[in-house]
Structure 1
Amino acid sequence: MTFTVILNGEPIELPDGTTLVALIVQRGLSPEAVGTAVNGRHVLRAARAERVLIDGDTVTLFQPIVGG
């Protein structure tokens, strides 16, 4: 079965059980190179493999800004 999430403003279908890290890899991105938020809350790199996405989640992938 599949479900729908909103990824950077666009709806996409994913298979049940998809984790945040699996979504990142599926999109051809490096998990180390992007920042992530689900439903407006930042998700740490260490937690992405355990964060299972569900129907209706809003996912934001972004380039982190570094500086000081």
Structure 2
Amino acid sequence: MSVKTYTVQGMTCGHCVASVTEEVGEVPGVTGVDVDLATGRLDVTGEGVTDEAVRQAVEEAGYTVTP
């Protein structure tokens, strides 16, 4: 298992957190998702999860991963 950390822009409420958590949680290999609304921090736990897959999931939820 590995944990990767990302920064997500555009989240403003609990619904935003739920949307990102749901979309990223559906990425194959993801076993855990932790989103901090205050900092925009997204921690993804899993095996074989690519940065591109996480980025696409966040964009599907309507937000942006910053470099």
TM-score by length of 2: 0.33
Richer in helix (by share):
2
Bigger radius of gyration among the two: 1
TM-score by length of 1: 0.33
